Structure 1
C-alpha cells in the first residue's frame, strides 16, 4: 500500500529561502558555459565555439540564485537569436541572454559575457592561396531597469617591427656605406629600395566598442578586425608561399611600429570609420607584443568615452581620468 503522504511530499525551494546573513551579493552566476553554435550563412554552415558567463545581483533576502535557469535561458536565447540571424553577433546573443536571465531570476541587474572563436578564410597577399585564420569575437551586455548596454569586441593577431632597433641598424649601416665611398644620395636610394633589418614581434590586438542603452548603432565585427589588423606593421597568415612570406616581412619592415603606435592607430581607425557613434559610446583598445629579443612582453592600452577621445584630438587637452569598462557597463560613466 502506497503512503500518500510520502508520495505527495514536495521539497522546499531552498534558493527562495532567507539567508543566514541578510547581505546582498554583487555577482552570482555561472562561468565556463561552453556551446557550439551552428548557423547557416552564404550557403554554408558556420560553426562558432562559444564560452559564456552569466551573472545577476542577489538581493539580501534571497538565499541563492536558481542556477539551472541560467542554462535554460542560454539554450532558449541561442535558439531564438541564432535561428533568426544570417550573421552571428556575439553582442546580440549576450543582450538576449542578459535580458532573459534578469527576468527569470527576478534580479535588478544581469550581466553576460560571450567569447566566440571562429574560422575565416582569406587569401594570402601575393599567391592568393586560401588560408584559414582563427578570430575571436566578444559580446557583453548588462541589463538593468535603464535598459541594456552592449559591448562589442574582437581580437586578432599580427606582426610588428621595432622602429628603435631599425634606426640603430640604419645608423651603423650608413656609417659603413659612407666609409665605403657611397654618397648621401646613393645611401638614401639604397635605403629606399632595401628595407632596413630590425627585430619583430607577434602582436595581439583587442578592440571593444560599447553602445549605450538607447543606441541602435550597428557595428560590423569585420570592420573592427580590419582596424586591429591594420594597426600593426603587417597582417599575418597561417599558410603562405615564399612570395607571401617575402611580402609580409617587407611590409612589416616598411611600417615599423611600437606597441603604443598600434593602440593609437586603433584610435585613429575608430574615429575615422565610426563618425556616427555618440560621445557616450565606450572605446577600449589594447595591444600586447610578444618580444623576441627580451624575455618580457610589452603592453599598451587606451580606454574611455569616445567624447573624451574626440575632445583630446580636437583641443590637444589631455584628460587624466578615463572612463573604465566596469564603470561604463555599470552606468557610472
Structure 2
C-alpha cells in the first residue's frame, strides 16, 4: 500500500472504481498549471522562468478516473528542480505515479535572449515562446523542442510592382524539432532569424531603424520562401530526426494571415 493510500484509509477512492462503458481515454489530466523551472542558458549558464504545464496520461477503459492531485504533487516534488534536462525523468515519474502506460507533458515558457542592436549596439532582452513536448509509451520516450520566433518579412511582389517602398509585416516562424542530441534554444532562434527578411529587436535607435528597414527591403521573402529557407538549413543538421517549420505572416495590407508549413522526418 502506498503512503498516499495509507493517509486515506477508510475513505472511498471513487477514481479507482471500475467503469463498465468499455471506453478508454487517450488523454486525461490537468491543463494550464504554472510552475517555476530552470532552463539552460547558453550565455549565462541558467535562466529561471515560469512554465505553463499540460499533463496527461492514458486511462484504460476499466478505470473510472485518474488521480488529478498526483499531477500537482509531481510538480511540487522537493527532491529536484524542474528543468529541461530532467524533463524525460518527469515523464517517467508521471506514468509510474498514475499507474499508466502512456503519458504526455507540454511545458511552455518565455525564454529571454539579450540582443544587441545592429548599428548602435544598444542591448535589450527579446522574449521567445518555447515549448517542450514529451510523450512516453512504455519504454519509448520522445521529446520535441518548439520555438516561436518573431521576425520581419517583406513582400517580393509588392517590392517589384511598387514605385516607392514595399509592404512588410511581423511574422511568427515556428520550428518544432526532434533531435538525437542536445540543441540549444539559441541555436534554433539564430537559425530562423538568419532566414528572415530581417530579425526583430527589443530596442532600436534611429540608425538601427534605418538599418532594419533597408535590410528587409533588400531581402524580400514570401511566406513560402521563409519555410523553404529554414527547412534547407534544418536539413543540413545531422542531429535532427524530424522537424516541422511553420510561418505565419500577419499581413499589413490584408485582414488575414499568410501561412506555410513543411514537415520532415529523416528516412530510416
Deviations 1:255-282 (A, max 9, x none): 000011111111012122x1243xxx22
The separation in 2 between residues aligned to 1:227 and 1:43, in whole angstroms, is 20
The separation in 1 between residues aligned to 2:40 and 2:220, in whole angstroms, is 40
Q: 1:126 to 1:152 in 2, by over 3 A?
A: same
Gaps of 5+ in 1: 1-7, 83-87, 174-195, 309-333
1:119 is the counterpart of 2:112:
yes
Residues 223-262 of structure 1 correspond to what in structure 2 (within 5 A)?
A: 223-262=187-226
Bigger proportion of residues as helix: 1
Aligned to 1:21: 21
Aligned residues: 260
1:74 is the counterpart of 2:67:
no
Gaps of 5+ in 2: 1-7
Larger radius of gyration: 1
More moved, 49-58 vs 113-122: 113-122
Q: 1:276 to 1:45 in 2, by over 3 A?
A: closer
Residues 101-180 of structure 1 correspond to what in structure 2 (within 5 A)?
A: 101-169=94-162, 173=163
Deviations 1:51-95 (A, max 9, x none): 11111110111111110110111223x85254xxxxx53xx4542
In the alignment, is the contact (CA less than 8 A) between 2:20 and 2:62 conserved in 1?
no
Q: 1:55 to 1:119 in 2, by over 3 A?
A: same
Q: 2:260 aligns with which of 300, 304, 318?
A: 300
1:268 is the counterpart of 2:232:
yes
- What do you get for the CA RMSD once the two structures are aligned? 2.2
Deviations 1:178-201 (A, max 9, x none): xxxxxxxxxxxxxxxxxx620001
Moved over 4 A (4+): 38-45
The separation in 2 between residues aligned to 1:98 and 1:138, in whole angstroms, is 15
In the alignment, is the contact (CA less than 8 A) between 1:161 and 1:256 conserved in 2?
yes
In the alignment, is the contact (CA less than 8 A) between 1:206 and 1:287 conserved in 2?
yes
| Pairwise CA distance, 1:132 | 1.3
Aligned to 1:191: none
Aligned to 2:37: 37
Deviations 1:197-227 (A, max 9, x none): 200010101001124xxx4x11221111112
Bigger proportion of residues as strand: 2
